[in-house]
Every structure is written in structure tokens, then in C-alpha cells.
Amino acid sequence: MGIEIEQPCVELSNVAVSETHGEDSPYFAGWKAYDENPYDELSNPSGVIQMGLAENQVSFDLLEKYLEEHPEASTWGKGAPGFRENALFQDYHGLKTFRTAMATFMEKVRGGRVKFDPQRVVLTAGATAANELLTFILANPGDALLVPTPYYPGFDRDLRWRTGVNIVPIHCDSLNNFQITPEALECAYKDAEAMNFKVRGVLITNPSNPLGITIPRSVLEEILDFVTRKNIHLVSDEIYSGSVFSSSEFTSVAEILEGREYKNAERVHIVYSLSKDLGLPGFRVGTIYSYNDKVVTTARRMSSFTLISSQTQHLLASMLSDEKFTENYIETNRERLRKRYEMIIEGLRSAGIECLKGNAGLFCWMNMSPLLEKPTREGELKLWNAILHQVKLNISPGSSCHSSEPGWFRVCFANMTEHTLEIALQRIRHFVERIRTQTESV
């Protein structure tokens, strides 16, 4: 083999070696435990049940039925007549039929209360890409975005990793059901200033992940007033807008803007995706809807790095243009999610566990603080470990979502069958009984 010559290590970039991708966090142990011992109804009924994944699996049958009844949607039709045109299509404007269908779908999800212009729809490969792309456009490295806590852990990667932008939390707590207050907004702004970060915008998720609640109209008005006063942007990630259990309970920032006749609208940008509402995360379908012309133009150019496969655009254009299908889907999906939600809330309540009163999303925000040994982050992690290894449920601890109060957990309910959910609830009941018995006997 010859003499080994020590190779000097060539450095990778700072971005490549940083940990901002977030995957070295302790919560990864939960995923590992699941991967090593995944629950299966038949083959592994005592395995770890995955309740950390916000996936919507309750309405696939509706999609499958659509495909069976509409062979023309089948990739390129019989004999593949549209194939070559589709295969060549890489225009970053996206397929017009698809953009139009997306705009229409977004309108339907908002009960027709607001209109969306297909020319303002920019397509990206998933909301992950949309959020990063917007951050590149709205902020310079070292700047900050204000984000209400608790928030989706993936934001740490999506908003910060390659962009070099900081997240400064807007603290929310259970005293007022985790609502965003003007005081909290001002406080976060001052925190950023104290750290010498220039604040470029506020990013909200509405409905909220992990809280599973919609933001009330009055709060949205306050947030809009705040960003206008500070002359900064507002990004509203409305990825769960179709997962609201009752349509009338969701107010989109688009509706507020319409009410204000679009005054100051050019600082507002909406992110959407089909990963949650339609349960199609694999297809990588994200959009940015911006009221700012320059943002639309720039975002469109930047989307070259992350376009949606034309094959997928073609399929979804067909599906989402079918108004009868989409109306029925939206309604049925809502109803099924609502039922699931009620099932889990009831099940937890019968075990003596309360949740934040939610009205949207694929998860509930569960309060286990009474069971903590110590009301600290360590106490929460200890409880989480017990739930993972003894109860064999992978749920998400609030600290992974930057919650300032220990003891809250996000529990997903839409990525499994009802039967599995029953099993999970039984396990929780037994666990809580065991703890109560132990505490009482001490």
C-alpha cells in the first residue's frame, strides 16, 4: 500500500460544519428509538408509536378515489401525449394551470372570503424552501426575525442555517393561552436591539404549530399594526389553514389586508404548502404569496434552486382545478380531523390530562406539568425520556419548540389509524395511573 501520508484536513464551510441544522439535539433520541423499534399493529404491537410527526394521513382515500375516477389526471394520459411538453417545462413561473389552481384552492380554504391573484403565487419545493427563500430576501446575515414561542423546531434550520439570520423569540405563555400580546412583541424587539440585531420582520404560524390554535382577528390586527409601526415585514405561515376544524374560526392575514384595502400590504407575505392539508409532503409543494412586487420577482428568480417537479405540478393542477373534488375534500378532511381531535382530547381527559383548547392542526398541545418532578427543563426532559422508553410513545417536548414553560408536549394524532390512537391513549392512561399511585404511596 505504501507510506501513509497524513492528509491535512480541508475545511468545509462554516455552514456545513455548524450545528444549526438542529439534528444533534437530544430529541433525536426519540426518532432513534422509533426507528429501532417502530410500532406495527400486527407485527410489533409493543413498539414505539410515532406521535412526533405532523402528518395528515386521514384523507388519502379521497385522493385515491379521485385518481381512480379521473384517468385523465394519470400522469400524462393514455399514450403520454403531454409528456414531452411537461418534461421540458422548467419555467420558474410554474405551470399557469397549477398556479391558478393553487390560488383557487387557497381561496376555498378561506371560505371564499378573500381573493388570491395567481400572478403573485411563487412555487417552491416545499414550505421548508419557501421559508428559507423569504428569509434570504427579507434579511441580511446577522439580522433577526421575531418568532412567537413555542414554534416549529424546523424554523431554527429553515430561517437561520444558510441565511445567517437570527431568531429572537416573542415569549407567549399559558397565562393567556399562549396568545401573542403587543407587550411581548415590543419586548422581543427590544431584546433584539439589545443584542445588536436589526429586526427585519415577524414570522407567525397561523394556525399555530405546535399549539393547534388559530390566531384571533384582533391579535392579527395588532401584529399588523406593530410591523407597520416598526416598518418591518410580516410572514404568515398558513400551512395548516386547511386543517382548521371549523372554517369560520380561521382568519387569514389576507382577510385583514383586504379589510384595510391593502394599505401597507407590501410588507406581508404568506407561506403555504400542500404537505399538511392534502397530506402530500413527498411531492414538495410550497408557495409564497407576496403582496410585494419586488419580492414576487426576486422570489421567483430564486425559486430556480427549488422548483416543483413539472410532473407533480401537472397532476395537482388537474386535481385542484376540480372544484367539486376540492370542496368535498376540504370539508371531509376538516370533519375527520375534528373527530380525531375530540377522540384524543377525551382520551387524555379521562387520564386526567388537560390540553390547550385547540381548533386546528394535526396535533394537540398537552399539559403534563402536574406530573413533572421539577418544574424545569430538566424535569421535562426526564418525563419525556420516561414516556419514550417506558410508555413507548415518541412525542415532542415543549423545550424542542422553545416553549418557555416546562411540561407541555405536542402530540400528533393524524398520522395513524384510530386503533393505534386508542392503543396510545391506553398506554398514557396506564402510565399516568402508575405515576399517581407511586406519588400517593410516597
CA distance 245 to 358: 9
Which residues from 291-350 bind another protein, rule CB under 8 A?
291-295, 298, 301-302, 304-312, 315
Q: Which of 137, 180, 213, 239 is catalytic?
A: 239
Q: Which of 1, 8, 42, 324 binds another protein (CB under 8 A)?
A: 8
Angle between helices 60-69 and 323-350 (to 10 degrees): 160
Tell me the DSSP string of 24-84.
TSTTHHHHHHHHHSB-BTTTBTTSBEE-S-----SSHHHHHHHHHH-GGGSTT-TT-TTHH
State yes or no: residue 436 binds another protein (CB under 8 A).
no
* Residue (212 or 279) nearer to another protein, CB: 279
Site map (CB under 8 A) of another protein, residues 77-116, x = contact: -xxx--xxxxxxxxxxx-xxx-------------------
In this structure, the number of other CB atoms found within 10 A of the CB of residue 295 comes to 22
* Residue (285 or 345) nearer to another protein, CB: 285
Stretch that binds another protein, among 38-46, 157-165, 330-338, 351-359 (CB under 8 A): 157-165
Helix (H) or strand (E) holding 217: helix 217-230
* Residue (312 or 399) nearer to another protein, CB: 312
Which residues from 174-203 bind another protein, rule CB under 8 A?
200
> By rule CB under 8 A, what count of residues binds another protein?
95
Is 428 one of the catalytic residues?
no
Is 239 one of the catalytic residues?
yes
Residue 245, all three cell numbers: 376544524
- The beta strand positions in 90-211, using DSSP E, are 121-124, 144-148, 166-170, 199-205
State yes or no: residue 146 binds another protein (CB under 8 A).
no
Stretch that binds another protein, among 39-47, 55-63, 364-372, 386-394 (CB under 8 A): 55-63
Is 5 one of the catalytic residues?
no
Q: Which of 25, 38, 107, 157 binds another protein (CB under 8 A)?
A: 157
Is 322 one of the catalytic residues?
no
Which residues from 219-258 bind another protein, rule CB under 8 A?
231-233
Q: Which of 41, 117, 331, 346 binds another protein (CB under 8 A)?
A: 117
Q: Which of 30, 126, 150, 406 binds another protein (CB under 8 A)?
A: 126
Is the Cα dihedral 131, 133, 137, 141 positive or negative?
positive
Q: Which residues sit opposite 394 in a β-bridge?
A: 50
In this structure, the number of other CB atoms found within 10 A of the CB of residue 439 comes to 11
Residue 306, all three cell numbers: 427549488
CA distance 271 to 289: 6
